[in-house]
Chain A
Protein backbone atom coordinates (compact mmCIF):
# COMPACT_ATOMS: atom_id res chain seq x y z
CA UNK A 1 0.00 0.00 0.00
CA UNK A 2 2.67 2.49 1.06
CA UNK A 3 6.20 2.50 -0.20
CA UNK A 4 9.58 2.12 1.46
CA UNK A 5 10.16 4.01 4.71
CA UNK A 6 6.51 4.89 5.38
CA UNK A 7 5.51 1.26 5.02
CA UNK A 8 8.15 0.08 7.46
CA UNK A 9 7.19 2.82 9.95
CA UNK A 10 3.54 1.69 9.86
CA UNK A 11 4.64 -1.92 10.28
CA UNK A 12 6.92 -1.13 13.23
CA UNK A 13 4.30 0.96 15.00
CA UNK A 14 1.76 -1.77 14.46
CA UNK A 15 3.96 -4.17 16.41
CA UNK A 16 3.67 -2.06 19.56
CA UNK A 17 1.29 -3.27 22.26
CA UNK A 18 -2.18 -1.74 22.09
CA UNK A 19 -1.69 -0.26 18.62
CA UNK A 20 -3.70 -1.71 15.76
CA UNK A 21 -3.27 -1.11 12.03
CA UNK A 22 -5.42 2.02 12.00
CA UNK A 23 -3.66 3.67 14.93
CA UNK A 24 -0.29 2.76 13.41
CA UNK A 25 -1.29 4.47 10.19
CA UNK A 26 -2.54 7.57 12.01
CA UNK A 27 0.66 7.91 14.07
CA UNK A 28 2.85 7.35 11.01
CA UNK A 29 1.10 10.11 9.07
CA UNK A 30 1.29 12.37 12.10
CA UNK A 31 5.04 11.85 12.31
CA UNK A 32 5.32 12.56 8.59
CA UNK A 33 3.61 15.89 9.09
CA UNK A 34 5.34 17.23 12.22
CA UNK A 35 8.56 19.28 12.26
CA UNK A 36 11.72 17.23 11.91
CA UNK A 37 12.98 18.22 15.34
CA UNK A 38 9.82 16.97 17.03
CA UNK A 39 10.11 13.59 15.34
CA UNK A 40 13.82 13.39 16.11
CA UNK A 41 13.15 14.06 19.79
CA UNK A 42 11.13 10.85 19.83
CA UNK A 43 13.99 9.04 18.12
CA UNK A 44 16.43 10.36 20.74
CA UNK A 45 14.15 9.31 23.56
CA UNK A 46 13.94 5.77 22.20
CA UNK A 47 17.69 5.57 21.70
CA UNK A 48 18.34 6.94 25.21
CA UNK A 49 16.02 4.38 26.77
CA UNK A 50 17.68 1.51 24.97
CA UNK A 51 21.21 2.71 25.72
CA UNK A 52 20.96 4.09 29.22
CA UNK A 53 18.16 2.35 31.06
CA UNK A 54 19.28 -0.79 32.78
CA UNK A 55 18.04 -3.10 35.48
CA UNK A 56 18.96 -2.26 39.10
CA UNK A 57 21.50 -4.83 40.32
CA UNK A 58 19.84 -5.04 43.74
CA UNK A 59 16.08 -4.87 43.20
CA UNK A 60 15.73 -5.27 39.38
CA UNK A 61 13.69 -2.10 39.03
CA UNK A 62 14.46 -0.01 35.95
CA UNK A 63 17.53 2.11 36.63
CA UNK A 64 19.90 4.54 35.04
CA UNK A 65 23.28 3.22 36.05
CA UNK A 66 23.93 0.44 38.51
CA UNK A 67 21.27 1.22 41.10
CA UNK A 68 17.69 2.45 40.83
CA UNK A 69 16.52 5.63 42.52
CA UNK A 70 15.17 3.77 45.56
CA UNK A 71 18.13 1.51 46.18
CA UNK A 72 20.53 4.47 45.92
CA UNK A 73 18.44 6.73 48.18
CA UNK A 74 19.84 6.50 51.77
CA UNK A 75 16.65 8.00 53.24
CA UNK A 76 14.70 4.87 52.29
CA UNK A 77 13.98 2.42 55.09
CA UNK A 78 16.05 -0.70 54.45
CA UNK A 79 14.11 -2.79 56.96
CA UNK A 80 10.90 -2.77 54.89
CA UNK A 81 10.87 -4.66 51.60
CA UNK A 82 7.97 -4.55 49.16
CA UNK A 83 7.93 -7.45 46.67
CA UNK A 84 6.23 -6.69 43.33
CA UNK A 85 5.85 -8.54 40.03
CA UNK A 86 6.77 -5.75 37.67
CA UNK A 87 8.55 -2.34 37.74
CA UNK A 88 5.21 -0.71 36.84
CA UNK A 89 3.84 -1.91 40.17
CA UNK A 90 6.50 0.20 41.92
CA UNK A 91 5.09 3.28 40.20
CA UNK A 92 1.65 2.36 41.55
CA UNK A 93 2.89 1.85 45.13
CA UNK A 94 4.90 5.08 44.95
CA UNK A 95 1.75 7.01 44.09
CA UNK A 96 0.49 6.30 47.60
CA UNK A 97 3.41 8.42 48.95
CA UNK A 98 3.04 6.24 52.05
CA UNK A 99 5.68 3.62 51.52
CA UNK A 100 9.22 4.57 52.49
CA UNK A 101 10.88 1.20 52.25
CA UNK A 102 12.65 -0.51 49.36
CA UNK A 103 11.46 -2.82 46.59
CA UNK A 104 12.17 -6.14 44.96
CA UNK A 105 10.96 -6.88 41.44
CA UNK A 106 10.28 -10.59 40.78
CA UNK A 107 9.87 -10.20 37.04
CA UNK A 108 6.49 -11.96 36.92
CA UNK A 109 4.46 -14.45 38.91
CA UNK A 110 4.40 -18.25 39.12
CA UNK A 111 2.74 -19.37 35.92
CA UNK A 112 3.61 -22.88 34.71
CA UNK A 113 1.47 -22.40 31.59
CA UNK A 114 3.80 -19.62 30.49
CA UNK A 115 6.83 -21.54 31.71
CA UNK A 116 7.42 -19.27 34.72
CA UNK A 117 8.64 -21.14 37.80
CA UNK A 118 10.70 -20.01 40.80
CA UNK A 119 13.89 -20.31 38.76
CA UNK A 120 12.61 -17.85 36.18
CA UNK A 121 11.63 -15.31 38.86
CA UNK A 122 14.13 -13.43 41.02
CA UNK A 123 13.42 -15.53 44.09
CA UNK A 124 16.99 -16.56 44.86
CA UNK A 125 18.03 -12.91 44.67
CA UNK A 126 15.28 -12.06 47.15
CA UNK A 127 16.53 -14.70 49.59
CA UNK A 128 20.09 -13.35 49.20
CA UNK A 129 18.87 -9.88 50.16
CA UNK A 130 17.41 -11.22 53.37
CA UNK A 131 20.59 -12.96 54.49
CA UNK A 132 22.17 -9.97 56.28
CA UNK A 133 19.19 -9.48 58.60
CA UNK A 134 18.58 -5.84 57.73
CA UNK A 135 15.09 -6.55 56.36
CA UNK A 136 12.56 -7.19 59.13
CA UNK A 137 9.32 -7.12 57.13
CA UNK A 138 8.52 -8.32 53.63
CA UNK A 139 5.28 -7.02 52.09
CA UNK A 140 3.99 -9.34 49.38
CA UNK A 141 2.54 -6.96 46.83
CA UNK A 142 1.84 -9.33 43.94
CA UNK A 143 -1.36 -8.99 41.92
CA UNK A 144 -4.61 -10.15 43.54
CA UNK A 145 -5.21 -12.78 40.83
CA UNK A 146 -4.68 -16.54 40.94
CA UNK A 147 -1.03 -16.44 39.87
CA UNK A 148 -0.19 -13.48 42.10
CA UNK A 149 -1.81 -15.16 45.10
CA UNK A 150 0.02 -18.42 44.39
CA UNK A 151 3.30 -16.51 44.19
CA UNK A 152 2.59 -14.78 47.51
CA UNK A 153 1.79 -18.15 49.07
CA UNK A 154 4.99 -19.65 47.68
CA UNK A 155 7.13 -16.78 48.97
CA UNK A 156 5.46 -16.90 52.39
CA UNK A 157 6.42 -20.58 52.66
CA UNK A 158 10.04 -19.69 51.94
CA UNK A 159 10.24 -16.53 54.04
CA UNK A 160 8.34 -17.29 57.24
CA UNK A 161 10.85 -19.97 58.37
CA UNK A 162 13.61 -17.34 58.05
CA UNK A 163 12.06 -15.44 60.95
CA UNK A 164 11.15 -12.35 58.95
CA UNK A 165 7.70 -10.76 59.29
CA UNK A 166 5.70 -11.51 56.14
CA UNK A 167 2.58 -9.52 55.23
CA UNK A 168 0.19 -9.53 52.29
CA UNK A 169 -1.62 -6.48 50.97
CA UNK A 170 -5.36 -6.50 51.60
CA UNK A 171 -8.15 -6.56 49.00
CA UNK A 172 -11.01 -4.14 49.30
CA UNK A 173 -13.07 -1.31 47.96
CA UNK A 174 -11.72 1.69 46.12
CA UNK A 175 -11.79 4.76 48.34
CA UNK A 176 -14.02 7.62 47.21
CA UNK A 177 -16.16 5.34 45.08
CA UNK A 178 -19.76 4.27 45.40
CA UNK A 179 -20.63 0.90 46.83
CA UNK A 180 -23.21 0.35 44.11
CA UNK A 181 -20.51 0.43 41.41
CA UNK A 182 -18.21 -2.02 43.20
CA UNK A 183 -17.80 -5.36 41.45
CA UNK A 184 -19.19 -8.36 43.32
CA UNK A 185 -15.87 -10.07 43.93
CA UNK A 186 -14.12 -7.09 45.44
CA UNK A 187 -17.15 -6.38 47.59
CA UNK A 188 -17.18 -10.03 48.67
CA UNK A 189 -13.52 -9.86 49.65
CA UNK A 190 -14.12 -6.60 51.47
CA UNK A 191 -16.95 -8.22 53.44
CA UNK A 192 -14.66 -11.10 54.33
CA UNK A 193 -11.97 -8.74 55.59
CA UNK A 194 -14.32 -6.49 57.54
CA UNK A 195 -13.09 -4.97 60.78
CA UNK A 196 -14.56 -4.11 64.15
CA UNK A 197 -15.41 -0.44 64.51
CA UNK A 198 -14.19 1.26 67.68
CA UNK A 199 -16.86 3.32 69.35
Chain B
Protein backbone atom coordinates (compact mmCIF):
# COMPACT_ATOMS: atom_id res chain seq x y z
CA UNK B 1 0.00 0.00 0.00
CA UNK B 2 2.85 2.39 0.81
CA UNK B 3 4.42 1.36 -2.45
CA UNK B 4 1.20 2.30 -4.29
CA UNK B 5 0.99 5.74 -2.69
CA UNK B 6 4.69 6.31 -3.25
CA UNK B 7 4.36 5.33 -6.89
CA UNK B 8 1.46 7.70 -7.47
CA UNK B 9 3.43 10.58 -5.96
CA UNK B 10 6.79 9.95 -7.58
CA UNK B 11 6.22 7.75 -10.62
CA UNK B 12 8.64 5.12 -9.42
CA UNK B 13 8.98 2.47 -6.77
CA UNK B 14 9.96 3.79 -3.36
CA UNK B 15 11.94 0.58 -2.82
CA UNK B 16 13.52 0.75 -6.25
CA UNK B 17 11.62 -2.40 -7.22
CA UNK B 18 11.39 -3.47 -10.87
CA UNK B 19 8.21 -3.22 -12.87
CA UNK B 20 7.54 -6.98 -12.80
CA UNK B 21 7.55 -7.13 -9.03
CA UNK B 22 5.03 -4.30 -8.80
CA UNK B 23 2.45 -6.16 -10.86
CA UNK B 24 0.63 -9.12 -9.31
CA UNK B 25 2.05 -12.42 -10.47
CA UNK B 26 0.22 -13.56 -13.62
CA UNK B 27 -1.34 -10.17 -14.34
CA UNK B 28 -0.13 -7.97 -17.19
CA UNK B 29 -0.67 -4.63 -15.49
CA UNK B 30 -1.35 -2.89 -12.22
CA UNK B 31 -3.94 -0.15 -11.80
CA UNK B 32 -3.65 2.41 -9.03
CA UNK B 33 -6.32 4.89 -8.09
CA UNK B 34 -6.34 7.41 -5.27
CA UNK B 35 -8.54 10.24 -4.16
CA UNK B 36 -6.69 12.93 -2.30
CA UNK B 37 -7.99 15.91 -0.47
CA UNK B 38 -5.93 18.90 0.58
CA UNK B 39 -7.86 21.46 2.61
CA UNK B 40 -10.92 21.90 0.42
CA UNK B 41 -9.43 20.68 -2.87
CA UNK B 42 -10.13 17.12 -4.05
CA UNK B 43 -8.06 15.33 -6.69
CA UNK B 44 -8.27 11.99 -8.42
CA UNK B 45 -5.00 10.30 -9.36
CA UNK B 46 -4.93 7.20 -11.54
CA UNK B 47 -2.05 5.20 -12.91
CA UNK B 48 -1.67 2.18 -15.14
CA UNK B 49 1.57 0.22 -14.81
CA UNK B 50 1.96 -2.44 -17.49
CA UNK B 51 4.81 -4.95 -17.20
CA UNK B 52 6.02 -3.82 -20.60
CA UNK B 53 5.29 -0.53 -22.42
CA UNK B 54 5.01 2.92 -20.95
CA UNK B 55 3.10 3.69 -17.79
CA UNK B 56 0.23 6.16 -17.91
CA UNK B 57 -0.75 8.54 -15.17
CA UNK B 58 -3.74 10.82 -15.00
CA UNK B 59 -4.54 13.65 -12.65
CA UNK B 60 -8.27 14.35 -12.57
CA UNK B 61 -8.65 12.30 -15.77
CA UNK B 62 -6.12 14.45 -17.57
CA UNK B 63 -2.88 12.69 -18.61
CA UNK B 64 0.28 14.20 -17.15
CA UNK B 65 3.66 14.35 -18.82
CA UNK B 66 5.98 14.74 -15.86
CA UNK B 67 5.48 13.53 -12.35
CA UNK B 68 6.38 16.95 -10.98
CA UNK B 69 2.88 18.01 -12.09
CA UNK B 70 1.55 15.69 -9.39
CA UNK B 71 3.13 17.75 -6.62
CA UNK B 72 0.12 19.99 -5.85
CA UNK B 73 -2.09 16.91 -5.34
CA UNK B 74 0.22 14.47 -3.59
CA UNK B 75 3.69 14.71 -2.08
CA UNK B 76 5.36 12.06 0.03
CA UNK B 77 8.34 11.67 2.34
CA UNK B 78 9.47 8.06 2.62
CA UNK B 79 11.27 6.46 5.59
CA UNK B 80 12.41 2.89 5.28
CA UNK B 81 15.00 0.59 6.89
CA UNK B 82 16.90 0.65 3.58
CA UNK B 83 17.70 4.31 4.32
CA UNK B 84 20.64 3.12 6.41
CA UNK B 85 22.53 2.91 3.11
CA UNK B 86 22.61 6.73 3.25
CA UNK B 87 25.07 6.39 6.11
CA UNK B 88 26.86 3.10 5.50
CA UNK B 89 26.68 3.06 1.69
CA UNK B 90 28.94 4.69 -0.87
CA UNK B 91 29.16 8.42 -1.61
CA UNK B 92 26.69 8.03 -4.52
CA UNK B 93 23.91 7.32 -2.00
CA UNK B 94 24.51 10.58 -0.18
CA UNK B 95 24.88 12.62 -3.37
CA UNK B 96 21.64 11.06 -4.57
CA UNK B 97 19.95 12.05 -1.30
CA UNK B 98 21.03 15.69 -1.72
CA UNK B 99 20.05 15.83 -5.40
CA UNK B 100 16.65 14.32 -4.66
CA UNK B 101 15.94 17.13 -2.23
CA UNK B 102 17.22 19.79 -4.65
CA UNK B 103 15.13 18.45 -7.53
CA UNK B 104 12.01 18.61 -5.37
CA UNK B 105 12.69 22.19 -4.48
CA UNK B 106 13.51 23.66 -7.87
CA UNK B 107 12.70 22.87 -11.49
CA UNK B 108 15.82 24.73 -12.47
CA UNK B 109 18.02 22.50 -10.32
CA UNK B 110 16.28 19.47 -11.79
CA UNK B 111 17.50 20.65 -15.19
CA UNK B 112 20.99 21.26 -13.77
CA UNK B 113 21.15 17.73 -12.31
CA UNK B 114 20.07 16.26 -15.66
CA UNK B 115 22.56 18.48 -17.49
CA UNK B 116 25.45 17.28 -15.35
CA UNK B 117 24.51 13.64 -15.93
CA UNK B 118 24.22 14.17 -19.68
CA UNK B 119 27.49 16.12 -19.96
CA UNK B 120 29.27 13.35 -18.05
CA UNK B 121 27.83 10.76 -20.44
CA UNK B 122 28.90 12.80 -23.48
CA UNK B 123 32.34 13.40 -21.99
CA UNK B 124 32.75 9.68 -21.23
CA UNK B 125 31.83 8.82 -24.82
CA UNK B 126 34.39 11.32 -26.08
CA UNK B 127 37.09 9.95 -23.77
CA UNK B 128 36.37 6.44 -25.03
CA UNK B 129 36.65 7.63 -28.63
CA UNK B 130 39.99 9.23 -27.89
CA UNK B 131 41.43 5.76 -27.39
CA UNK B 132 43.79 7.16 -24.74
CA UNK B 133 45.37 9.79 -26.99
CA UNK B 134 45.10 13.57 -26.79
CA UNK B 135 44.83 14.65 -30.41
CA UNK B 136 43.88 18.25 -31.26
CA UNK B 137 40.34 17.52 -32.47
CA UNK B 138 39.51 15.66 -29.24
CA UNK B 139 41.08 18.47 -27.23
CA UNK B 140 38.95 21.25 -28.70
CA UNK B 141 35.68 19.39 -28.15
CA UNK B 142 36.81 18.31 -24.69
CA UNK B 143 37.25 22.02 -23.90
CA UNK B 144 33.59 22.62 -24.77
CA UNK B 145 32.28 19.77 -22.60
CA UNK B 146 34.55 20.89 -19.76
CA UNK B 147 33.10 24.38 -19.99
CA UNK B 148 29.54 22.97 -19.89
CA UNK B 149 30.42 20.71 -16.97
CA UNK B 150 31.94 23.69 -15.14
CA UNK B 151 28.80 25.79 -15.62
CA UNK B 152 26.27 23.16 -14.55
CA UNK B 153 28.57 21.36 -12.13
CA UNK B 154 29.48 24.49 -10.19
CA UNK B 155 25.84 25.52 -9.94
CA UNK B 156 24.94 22.04 -8.66
CA UNK B 157 27.72 21.94 -6.10
CA UNK B 158 26.93 25.40 -4.76
CA UNK B 159 23.29 24.35 -4.40
CA UNK B 160 24.33 21.14 -2.60
CA UNK B 161 26.59 23.10 -0.23
CA UNK B 162 23.84 25.59 0.59
CA UNK B 163 21.46 22.71 1.23
CA UNK B 164 23.94 20.94 3.51
CA UNK B 165 24.30 24.13 5.57
CA UNK B 166 20.54 24.29 6.02
CA UNK B 167 20.25 20.59 6.83
CA UNK B 168 23.02 20.25 9.40
CA UNK B 169 21.27 21.89 12.39
CA UNK B 170 17.99 20.11 11.55
CA UNK B 171 19.73 16.73 11.41
CA UNK B 172 21.48 17.30 14.73
CA UNK B 173 18.23 18.36 16.34
CA UNK B 174 16.33 15.31 15.07
CA UNK B 175 19.14 12.97 16.02
CA UNK B 176 19.36 14.34 19.54
CA UNK B 177 15.66 13.84 19.96
CA UNK B 178 15.68 10.27 18.63
CA UNK B 179 18.75 9.23 20.62
CA UNK B 180 17.48 10.80 23.81
CA UNK B 181 20.75 12.59 24.53
CA UNK B 182 22.61 15.44 22.89
CA UNK B 183 24.83 14.37 20.04
CA UNK B 184 26.34 16.56 17.37
CA UNK B 185 25.82 15.26 13.82
CA UNK B 186 28.09 17.05 11.38
CA UNK B 187 27.51 17.24 7.64
CA UNK B 188 30.53 18.22 5.58
CA UNK B 189 30.40 18.55 1.83
CA UNK B 190 33.75 17.67 0.27
CA UNK B 191 34.40 18.71 -3.30
CA UNK B 192 36.59 16.40 -5.34
CA UNK B 193 38.60 19.41 -6.51
CA UNK B 194 39.90 22.77 -5.33
CA UNK B 195 39.70 26.11 -7.14
CA UNK B 196 37.76 26.43 -10.39
CA UNK B 197 36.31 23.22 -11.79
CA UNK B 198 37.49 24.10 -15.29
CA UNK B 199 41.12 24.27 -14.09
CA UNK B 200 40.77 21.04 -12.14
CA UNK B 201 39.38 19.32 -15.23
CA UNK B 202 42.32 20.61 -17.23
CA UNK B 203 44.91 19.33 -14.79
CA UNK B 204 43.14 15.97 -14.53
CA UNK B 205 42.82 15.69 -18.28
CA UNK B 206 45.74 13.42 -18.97
CA UNK B 207 44.60 11.04 -16.28
CA UNK B 208 40.98 11.23 -17.56
CA UNK B 209 42.05 10.39 -21.09
CA UNK B 210 44.15 7.47 -19.89
CA UNK B 211 41.48 6.04 -17.62
CA UNK B 212 38.62 7.13 -19.91
CA UNK B 213 36.51 8.47 -17.06
CA UNK B 214 35.99 11.93 -15.59
CA UNK B 215 37.94 11.86 -12.33
CA UNK B 216 36.88 15.23 -10.86
CA UNK B 217 33.47 16.86 -10.68
CA UNK B 218 30.21 16.83 -8.75
CA UNK B 219 29.87 13.07 -9.40
CA UNK B 220 32.99 12.43 -7.33
CA UNK B 221 32.11 14.59 -4.34
CA UNK B 222 31.32 13.26 -0.89
CA UNK B 223 28.96 14.26 1.88
CA UNK B 224 30.73 13.25 5.06
CA UNK B 225 28.52 12.51 8.01
CA UNK B 226 30.13 12.69 11.42
CA UNK B 227 28.73 11.64 14.76
CA UNK B 228 30.43 13.33 17.68
CA UNK B 229 33.37 14.18 15.35
CA UNK B 230 34.06 10.63 14.19
CA UNK B 231 32.99 9.45 10.71
CA UNK B 232 29.58 7.79 11.04
CA UNK B 233 30.13 5.51 8.08
CA UNK B 234 32.91 3.60 9.78
CA UNK B 235 32.62 4.43 13.47
CA UNK B 236 28.90 4.53 14.29
CA UNK B 237 27.04 1.40 15.42
CA UNK B 238 24.23 0.00 13.28
CA UNK B 239 21.66 1.47 15.64
CA UNK B 240 23.30 4.88 15.43
CA UNK B 241 23.46 4.64 11.64
CA UNK B 242 19.73 3.88 11.45
CA UNK B 243 19.08 6.78 13.73
CA UNK B 244 21.17 9.16 11.58
CA UNK B 245 19.35 7.96 8.44
CA UNK B 246 16.02 8.72 10.10
CA UNK B 247 17.31 12.10 11.22
CA UNK B 248 18.32 12.86 7.61
CA UNK B 249 14.78 12.05 6.44
CA UNK B 250 13.17 14.03 9.23
CA UNK B 251 15.41 17.00 8.40
CA UNK B 252 14.35 17.07 4.75
CA UNK B 253 10.76 16.71 5.87
CA UNK B 254 11.19 19.73 8.14
CA UNK B 255 12.77 21.64 5.28
CA UNK B 256 9.77 20.83 3.11
CA UNK B 257 7.45 22.02 5.81
CA UNK B 258 9.27 25.34 5.73
CA UNK B 259 8.67 25.64 1.97
CA UNK B 260 5.29 24.17 1.30
CA UNK B 261 2.15 25.09 3.13
CA UNK B 262 0.81 21.57 2.91
CA UNK B 263 2.90 18.90 4.63
CA UNK B 264 3.73 15.87 2.50
CA UNK B 265 2.23 12.49 3.40
CA UNK B 266 4.75 10.54 5.47
CA UNK B 267 5.31 6.92 4.53
CA UNK B 268 7.04 4.85 7.23
CA UNK B 269 7.93 1.46 5.84
CA UNK B 270 8.55 -0.99 8.67
CA UNK B 271 10.86 1.33 10.60
CA UNK B 272 10.00 0.04 14.09
CA UNK B 273 11.48 -3.39 13.43
CA UNK B 274 14.87 -1.68 13.23
CA UNK B 275 14.60 0.56 16.28
CA UNK B 276 14.67 -0.22 19.97
CA UNK B 277 11.48 0.65 21.91
CA UNK B 278 13.00 3.84 23.28
CA UNK B 279 13.94 5.21 19.85
CA UNK B 280 10.63 4.04 18.36
CA UNK B 281 8.77 6.02 20.99
CA UNK B 282 11.01 9.04 20.38
CA UNK B 283 10.36 8.80 16.64
CA UNK B 284 6.61 8.70 17.15
CA UNK B 285 6.85 11.72 19.40
CA UNK B 286 9.02 13.56 16.88
CA UNK B 287 6.78 12.83 13.86
CA UNK B 288 5.82 16.08 12.18
CA UNK B 289 2.22 17.12 11.77
CA UNK B 290 0.37 15.83 8.73
CA UNK B 291 -0.85 12.50 7.49
CA UNK B 292 1.30 9.47 8.31
CA UNK B 293 0.98 5.96 6.93
CA UNK B 294 3.10 3.31 8.52
CA UNK B 295 3.60 -0.39 8.16
CA UNK B 296 5.04 -2.55 10.87
CA UNK B 297 5.68 -6.23 11.42
CA UNK B 298 6.03 -5.73 15.17
CA UNK B 299 3.70 -4.04 17.61
CA UNK B 300 3.96 -0.29 17.17
CA UNK B 301 4.95 1.76 20.18
CA UNK B 302 1.99 2.55 22.43
CA UNK B 303 2.25 6.25 21.59
CA UNK B 304 1.05 5.57 18.03
CA UNK B 305 -2.47 6.93 18.14
CA UNK B 306 -3.57 5.24 14.94
CA UNK B 307 -6.70 6.56 13.39
CA UNK B 308 -7.15 3.38 11.48
CA UNK B 309 -5.43 0.00 11.64
CA UNK B 310 -5.41 -2.55 8.83
CA UNK B 311 -4.07 -6.00 9.62
CA UNK B 312 -2.61 -8.09 6.83
CA UNK B 313 -1.71 -11.78 6.95
CA UNK B 314 -0.77 -14.05 4.06
CA UNK B 315 -1.66 -11.35 1.50
CA UNK B 316 -5.20 -10.88 2.68
CA UNK B 317 -6.79 -8.29 4.89
CA UNK B 318 -7.68 -9.90 8.21
CA UNK B 319 -9.82 -7.07 9.40
CA UNK B 320 -10.09 -3.36 9.77
CA UNK B 321 -10.19 -1.84 13.17
CA UNK B 322 -10.79 1.74 13.95
CA UNK B 323 -8.02 2.97 16.16
CA UNK B 324 -7.99 4.67 19.47
Task: Check A153 against B141 for contact (C-beta < 8 Å).
Answer: no
CA distance A98 to B145 in the complex (A): 33
Which one of B37-45, B119-127, B168-176, B246-254 contacts A?
Answer: B119-127
Provide the A135-169 mask, 1 if CB < 8 A to any CB of B, else 0. 00000000000110110011001100000000000
Task: Check A154 against B140 for contact (C-beta < 8 Å).
Answer: yes
Provide the A153-196 mask, 1 if CB < 8 A to any CB of B, else 0. 11001100000000000000000000000011100100000000
Which one of B88-96, B107-115, B197-205, B272-280 contacts A?
Answer: B107-115
B121 and chain A: residue at smallest CB distance: A113
Whether A118 is near chain B, meaning CB under 8 Å from some CB there, is yes
Task: Check A112 against B148 for contact (C-beta < 8 Å).
Answer: no
CA distance A158 to B139 in the complex (A): 13
A117: chain B residues within 8 A (beta carbon): 126, 129, 137, 141
Task: Check B129 against A153 for contact (C-beta < 8 Å).
Answer: no
CA distance A179 to B140 in the complex (A): 40
A147 and chain B: residue at smallest CB distance: B122
CA distance A165 to B105 in the complex (A): 39
A154: chain B residues within 8 A (beta carbon): 140-141, 144
Whether B154 is near chain A, meaning CB under 8 Å from some CB there, is no
Given the known A-B contacts A112-B129, A117-B129, A185-B107, are A153 and B147 also in contact in the complex, defined by CB atoms under 8 Å? yes
CA distance A157 to B111 in the complex (A): 25
Within 8 A of A (CB), among B128-149: 129, 137, 140-141, 143-145, 147-148
B141: chain A residues within 8 A (beta carbon): 110, 112, 117-118, 154
Given the known A-B contacts A150-B144, A157-B143, A157-B144, are A118 and B125 also in contact in the complex, defined by CB atoms under 8 Å? no
Whether B60 is near chain A, meaning CB under 8 Å from some CB there, is no
CA distance A72 to B104 in the complex (A): 52
CA distance A185 to B123 in the complex (A): 24
Whether B118 is near chain A, meaning CB under 8 Å from some CB there, is yes
Task: Check B118 against A146 for contact (C-beta < 8 Å).
Answer: yes
Task: Check B125 against A112 for contact (C-beta < 8 Å).
Answer: yes
B143: chain A residues within 8 A (beta carbon): 157
Provide the A102-142 mask, 1 if CB < 8 A to any CB of B, else 0. 00000000111101011100000000000000000000000
Task: Check A113 against B122 for contact (C-beta < 8 Å).
Answer: yes
B115 and chain A: residue at smallest CB distance: A146
Given the known A-B contacts A110-B141, A110-B144, A118-B141, are A150 and B107 also in contact in the complex, defined by CB atoms under 8 Å? no
B148: chain A residues within 8 A (beta carbon): 146, 149-150, 153
B108: chain A residues within 8 A (beta carbon): 184-185, 188
Q: How far is the CB of B106 from chain A (nearest CB, A)?
A: 8
Describe A's contact surface by its main secondary structure: helix
Q: How far is the CB of B228 from chain A (nearest CB, A)?
A: 41
CA distance A153 to B140 in the complex (A): 11
B123: chain A residues within 8 A (beta carbon): 112
CA distance A146 to B153 in the complex (A): 13
Q: How far is the CB of B310 from chain A (nearest CB, A)?
A: 38
A114 and chain B: residue at smallest CB distance: B125
CA distance A5 to B148 in the complex (A): 52
A115: chain B residues within 8 A (beta carbon): 129
Tell me which of A115, A146, A149, A154 has the highest count of chain B C-beta atoms within 10 A of its own C-beta: A146
A119: chain B residues within 8 A (beta carbon): 137
Q: How far is the CB of B256 from chain A (nearest CB, A)?
A: 18
Q: How far is the CB of A146 from chain B (nearest CB, A)?
A: 5
Tell me which of B119, B122, B137, B140 has the highest count of chain A C-beta atoms within 10 A of its own C-beta: B122
CA distance A149 to B123 in the complex (A): 15
Residue from the list A113, A158, A188 in contact with B125, Cβ < 8 A: A113
B126: chain A residues within 8 A (beta carbon): 112, 117
Tell me which of B121, B140, B143, B144 has the highest count of chain A C-beta atoms within 10 A of its own C-beta: B144
Q: A112-B125, A146-B122, A188-B108 are in contact. List 12 more A-B contacts (CB 8 A).
A: A110-B141, A112-B123, A113-B125, A115-B129, A117-B137, A117-B141, A118-B137, A150-B148, A153-B147, A157-B143, A158-B140, A183-B107
29 pairs of residues in contact across A and B, judged by CB atoms under 8 Å: A110-B122, A110-B141, A111-B122, A112-B122, A112-B126, A112-B141, A113-B125, A115-B129, A117-B129, A117-B141, A118-B137, A118-B141, A119-B137, A146-B115, A146-B118, A146-B119, A146-B148, A149-B148, A150-B122, A150-B144, A150-B148, A153-B147, A153-B148, A154-B140, A154-B141, A154-B144, A157-B140, A157-B143, A184-B108
Q: Which residues of A contact B (CB under 8 A)?
A: 110-113, 115, 117-119, 146-147, 149-150, 153-154, 157-158, 183-185, 188
Listed from nearest, the 6 A-B pairs whose CB atoms lie closest are: A184-B107, A112-B125, A112-B126, A154-B144, A113-B125, A188-B108
